[in-house]
Chain A
Amino acid sequence: MKIIKQIGIIFSICWLSQVIEYLLPFAFPASVIGMVLLFLCLLTGVLKIEHIQEKSDFLLSNMAFFFIPAGVSMINYLDILKSNAIQLILICVITTVLTFGVTSFSIRFTMGLMNKRKGSEK
């Protein structure tokens, strides 16, 4: 019953976020709304981590698996892939490396600046 209850809580939040997605005047994905909702529930103490621990551990530790059907859906677009393969691969590889690099550098740069300021205040 414990696990059933946890599944119930998580699916209720997901349903609620789908309703919110439907009502919002602009496009925003239910999965991210669900993340915000659950975060707010935890923050305000409406939910405790113990209420959803096991189910959430199960979902998070198997996250890669849940992406298999999304990947397999590429089978429907094989012709797009074939006709633009080289450009698509190049663009994806280059921009992914760049994005990772710039994100990591700018976080470290900002943290460095903040530490410096803290140091000079002392």
Chain B
Amino acid sequence: MKELCMYPSFGIALSILTFWIGIKIQKKTKMIICNPLLIAIILCIGVLLIFKIPYESYNQGGEIINMFLGPATACLAVSIYTKLELLKKNWLPILVGCTAGSATSMISVLLLCRLMGLDETMTMSLVPKSVTTPIAVSISSGHNGVVPVTVVAVIFTGILGSILAPAFIRLFRVKDPMVAGLSIGACSHAMGTSKAIELGETEGAMSGLAIGICGIITVLFSMLL
């Protein structure tokens, strides 16, 4: 089994198949929790565990898919550019919102960790969890955090954001697509943004913008820690 799965085509095929199953289930049930990304991740992990396929074999193909994340994030610039007028008109609220959001994320993690009695290494691993993985990892390792914990927290937060974004919009009665997009990007980086893109053009563009702004602000704030 090990030998049969070490081709890159295996990981790519498995990812596409499970994602397709996820989309089918989402269409049938129409439930927020049946998120295609979440279903695909669970199914892939399940297949690897059940058939004892090493992660390295899956990752031959996984790496190739992963390689598209950089270009996809860069392309968010295209959607931001098409909303240039909105950005020019609202630069101050956007900046205030992203600053407040980044500060809230970091402070609330700090407080909750203290409350739950987690130690300093664990706390520092979780503080940058709302920003995009590469930024979060560099902040975490710079403050003696455990990088795998950071990676898990970032991905888990991203999945949460991409599943719950529509529910958050209803909960906080957000009507303005610009506000919705920025808030999604601020709380759940690029993974949440993938959901924002599905919600609408403005949501996607503003969520992408928030990834960049919140990333920079979080780096600046982390220097104070």
Interface residues of A (CB under 8 A from B): 10-11, 13-14, 17-18, 26-32, 34-39, 42-43, 49, 52-53, 55-56, 59-77, 80-81, 84, 87-108, 110-111, 114
In the assembled complex, the CB of B51 is this many whole angstroms from the nearest CB of chain A, namely 13
Q: Are B105 and A99 in contact (CB under 8 A)?
A: yes
Q: Are A49 and B81 in contact (CB under 8 A)?
A: yes
Interface residues of B (CB under 8 A from A): 11, 15-16, 18-19, 36-38, 40-41, 44-45, 48-49, 55, 58-59, 61-63, 65-66, 68-82, 84, 90, 92-94, 96-98, 100-101, 104-105, 108-109, 112-113, 116, 118, 122, 126, 129-130, 132-135, 138, 142, 146, 148-149, 151-153, 155-162, 164, 168, 171-172, 174, 176, 178-180, 182-184, 186-188, 190-191, 193-195, 197-198, 204, 208, 210-212, 215, 219
Distance between Cα atoms of A92 and B126 in the complex (Å): 9
Q: Are A60 and B75 in contact (CB under 8 A)?
A: yes
Q: Are B37 and A35 in contact (CB under 8 A)?
A: no
Q: Are B101 and A106 in contact (CB under 8 A)?
A: yes
Q: A28-B219, A75-B55, A95-B112 are in contact. List 10 more A-B contacts (CB 8 A).
A: A32-B132, A38-B77, A66-B65, A68-B19, A74-B151, A77-B152, A91-B126, A96-B130, A105-B172, A107-B96
Q: DSSP class of B's interface residues: helix, strand, loop or mixed?
A: helix
Q: Are B65 and A93 in contact (CB under 8 A)?
A: no
Q: Are B133 and A75 in contact (CB under 8 A)?
A: no
Distance between Cα atoms of A94 and B107 in the complex (Å): 12
A-B CB proximity, top 5 nearest:
A29-B134, A69-B62, A34-B74, A103-B101, A27-B138
Q: Are B74 and A31 in contact (CB under 8 A)?
A: yes
Q: Are B74 and A14 in contact (CB under 8 A)?
A: yes
Q: Are B211 and A32 in contact (CB under 8 A)?
A: yes
Q: Are B152 and A30 in contact (CB under 8 A)?
A: no
Please give, as numbers and ranges, the residues of chain B lying within 8 Å of A77 by CB-CB distance: 148-149, 151-152
Please give, as numbers and ranges, the residues of chain A lying within 8 Å of B195 by CB-CB distance: 64
In the assembled complex, the CB of A67 is this many whole angstroms from the nearest CB of chain B, namely 5
Please give, as numbers and ranges, the residues of chain A lying within 8 Å of B157 by CB-CB distance: 92, 95-96
In the assembled complex, the CB of B160 is this many whole angstroms from the nearest CB of chain A, namely 5
Q: Are B69 and A66 in contact (CB under 8 A)?
A: yes
Q: DSSP class of A's interface residues: helix, strand, loop or mixed?
A: helix
In the assembled complex, the CB of B132 is this many whole angstroms from the nearest CB of chain A, namely 6
- Which single member of B48, B71, B193 contacts A72 (CB below 8 Å)? B48
Q: Are A10 and B71 in contact (CB under 8 A)?
A: yes
Q: Are A107 and B93 in contact (CB under 8 A)?
A: yes
Query: Contacts A42-B81, A64-B37, A107-B94; is A70 near B105 (CB within 8 Å)?
Result: no
Q: Are A72 and B45 in contact (CB under 8 A)?
A: yes
Q: Are A100 and B184 in contact (CB under 8 A)?
A: yes
Q: Are A97 and B62 in contact (CB under 8 A)?
A: no
Distance between Cα atoms of A106 and B38 in the complex (Å): 30
For B38, give the chain A residue with the smallest CB separation: A71
Please give, as numbers and ranges, the residues of chain B lying within 8 Å of A37 by CB-CB distance: 74, 77
In the assembled complex, the CB of B217 is this many whole angstroms from the nearest CB of chain A, namely 11
* Interchain residue pairs with CB less than 8 A apart (15): A14-B74, A35-B74, A60-B75, A65-B37, A66-B72, A68-B37, A70-B69, A73-B62, A74-B45, A80-B152, A94-B112, A96-B164, A102-B104, A106-B101, A108-B176
